Structure formats: C-alpha cells, structure tokens
C-alpha cells in the first residue's frame, strides 16, 4: 500500500528517506522504508520505539510514514 507520488526524487531522497533513516537510527523500522523506482512513491513505512527527541517524532513527514510508540503515562514517561 502506498499513497500518491512525491514531487520528485530530490524531495523523496533528501526529505522523506532522510527522515526515515534518522528514525531508524533512533528506533526500529518495523515495515517499509522502500520506494517505487521511477514513480517517487514510498511504501507504507512504520517506525516503532523511536526516541521522543528524534526529528521524525516532531515533524510531519509524509502520510505513508508513521511512528508508533507506547507510553507509560500521558506525559510519555
């Protein structure tokens, strides 16, 4: 499953895949992280247990990239 195409390869590679790579360094890539060559579509991507201060946790990346974390309390600790 994937959403519509991104503007171009530069946006895909520098923004979206950059966020995913950073998220993978601070968490776990549970699903996806790949893109369809030539049409600039990233497959559904799920990151888990990503650190709270990671850039991908704070910024909206793209609809087919999601973070799933479990918290002990509403404050996240």
The answer to the question of residue 17 being in a domain is yes
The answer to the question of residue 43 being in a domain is yes
The answer to the question of residue 4 being in a domain is no
The answer to the question of residue 3 being in a domain is no
Counted domains in the chain: 1
The answer to the question of residue 74 being in a domain is no
pLDDT in tens, 1-35: 445 556 666 667 667 788 888 888 888 999 887 77
The answer to the question of residue 46 being in a domain is yes
Please give the residue that has the higher pLDDT: either 47 or 74.
Answer: 47
Q: 70 burial class (0-12, 13-18, 19+ CB within 10 angstroms)?
A: exposed
Q: Report the 10 Å Cβ neighbour count for 62.
A: 17
Are 39 and 26 in contact by the 8 Å Cβ rule? The answer is: no
Buried b (16+ CB within 10 A) or exposed e, 32-57: bbebeeeebbbeebbbeebeeebebb
The answer to the question of residue 19 being in a domain is yes
Task: Give the residue numbers spanning the domain of 63.
Answer: 9-28+37-68
Q: What pTM value is reported for the model?
A: 0.72
């Amino acid at each position: 499953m994937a959403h519509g195409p991104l503007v171009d390869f530069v946006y895909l590679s520098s923004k979206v895949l950059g966020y995913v790579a950073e998220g993978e360094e601070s968490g776990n890539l549970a699903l996806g992280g790949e893109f369809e060559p030539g049409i600039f579509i990233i497959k559904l991507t799920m990151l888990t247990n990503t650190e709270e201060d990671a850039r991908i946790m704070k910024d909206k990346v793209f609809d087919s990239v999601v973070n799933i974390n479990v918290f002990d309390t509403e404050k996240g600790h």
